[in-house]
Amino acid sequence: FPGGAGKMMENIAKNIVYPTYAFDNGIQGRVFVSFVVERDGSISNVKAMRGIGGGCDEEAVRVIQSMPKWIPARQRGETVRCSYIIPIIFKMQ
């Protein structure tokens, strides 16, 4: 992610919206989202691997899909596709 892991987490925190249904029903937890960073830095194949329901899974997928382009991974001087799994925490405060 441009700027590193800290900037990525800032981007997620800034753009995530706690789903009303989940908030009203006290649903909290981690949603694990997998995705692929393509050779051009775009995000594809976004899926909630393990979710908590209440609309949180869909919101986590939406936020990952809306991320800006990444700096693509390199292997032996060539840009390559790279898969990631990121936990997104939904916690009421």
Give the pLDDT confidence score for residue 93 in this predicted structure. Answer: 77
Burial of 22 by CB count in 10 Å (0-12 exposed, 13-18 middle, 19+ buried)? buried
pLDDT band at residue 14 using 50, 70 and 90 as cut-offs: very high
Token representation of residue 64: 């990952």
33, 76, 92 from 65: Cα distances, Å: 10, 28, 23
pTM for this predicted structure: 0.88
Token representation of residue 20: 């009303």
pLDDT tens digit sequence for 73-87: 999 999 999 999 999
pLDDT for 2 beyond 80: yes
Give the pLDDT confidence score for residue 48 in this predicted structure. Answer: 95
pLDDT tens digit sequence for 46-73: 999 999 989 999 999 999 999 999 999 9
